[in-house]
Amino acid sequence: MSVSEIDVDQLAGVMPSGPNVIDVREPDEYVAGHVPGAVLVPLATVPDSLGLFSAEGPTYLICLSGARSMRAAEYAAEAGFEVVNVAGGTKAWIESGRDVVTGDSPA
């Protein structure tokens, strides 16, 4: 199944609309720094956490570089969800100079 993909510049462009962003990294990675508003759903828990995916509009999936989030996106897409993978991931977001949130809260 084909999954749509965007880069961090495109993600930044949709951030003002308050998109559903899910970070599939491990808790320690998330706490160290994540995209503002991103909700932590570690990759291994995605199958049990599909209730956190948006039924209205796309859910944007992000990890460190885009590989784990692509696996999560493929799984969620097969389950019928509209998902978009963020190519380059949190690493590209940070390298672009954008703000990150530290700690275990989304914002």
The residues carrying an active-site annotation are 63
Residues whose CB falls within 8 Å of the CB of residue 4, separated by 6 or more in sequence, listed in order:
58, 83, 84, 85
Query: What phi, psi does 21 have (nearest 5°)?
Result: -115, 125
| Beta pairing, strands 83-86 & 59-62 | parallel
Count the Cβ atoms, other than its own, within 10 Å of residue 73: 29
Count the Cβ atoms, other than its own, within 10 Å of residue 61: 34
State both tokens at 100: 């990150």
